[in-house]
Structure 1
């Protein structure tokens, strides 16, 4: 099994780094081929350049994007690790998917082109409930992930949250790391499609493609 880990945190002393250092050896021990992409250290260009957008027609991708598309195609499962800032993922992680999953590679008018893949995402929060629930931060992450990964055809979309990370105790953080291992163990212990989608993204895309659901029209002013 090939697992691509996309790591998105700029600080090596972060709890996200602790998650990374904990789960990678465990996945390798279970027989996986694991490749880690550190978006900060590789200095991934988070700006959508004109040549990136032009590639939706030409299919001529930059060398950086081509390499990441090869990594995506290589992977049976993707694991993402990142903090939640202002109720969303870091901009450079979102930009990675904007550029790599671009039209013509990730999806086209027929639907998602990256079928039978899975994503398992671990998110850390500085805050805790009831604030996170009241601010709809869980929902905002789930809607975003559903839109991205359902659009390109992923079969399983799984998320795991760790809250109040900077202010909690070492005992709780140690428990979180055990939970992180249990979470990624699902890659090995659950069959493809057993976990399923977060929301209705896959169904909505299917209905639009089949002409059974009309996309909302934008009113021009």
Structure 2
């Protein structure tokens, strides 16, 4: 019998952020392409740079399809929608490095990214999306997130300086590759663990998923 996922296609969560902003969380849908395109246009140049490592101005048709037409297992994404306006204000996703069932160790590792519109940052939405994304990854057999960090980001460098022995990181030119173990937290567990602090950098835009968009760009131009 197929297991029932808490964060499956029927998942919907309605809540309010700490400042009262009404939000609905749900899995991304193919019909979200226009929302995603509008969201990119609303990001500041700095947020775009942190997200894509370049000042990306638009998403191609191929990129929009890749980002919204996901299988929900190896590629999973959540969107945060403002309940009053109906507009998307944040998105979190992971992409498994190898398909589920693959014997390679990468089947338990996923690249992760979270982005929140500038006007809704610093309200706890990024952390909220990150917690839900981590839980969704764990129930799909993923136990580690991999992320690429801009080497110029001093804040994440300070975090890496205090990294635990179980965390792997590699300097690669102007970027750093971080590999962060995911552990299901106890209900009363503190949120200042190394893994949580590293993953919180995702929500602030310091850890980004970009590899597959770069592959798509190269494919489209070839």
Q: TM-score, normalised by structure 2?
A: 0.32
Higher strand share: 2
Structure with more of its chain in helix, by fraction? 1
| Structure with the larger RCO, 1 or 2 (CA within 8 Å, 6+ apart) | 1
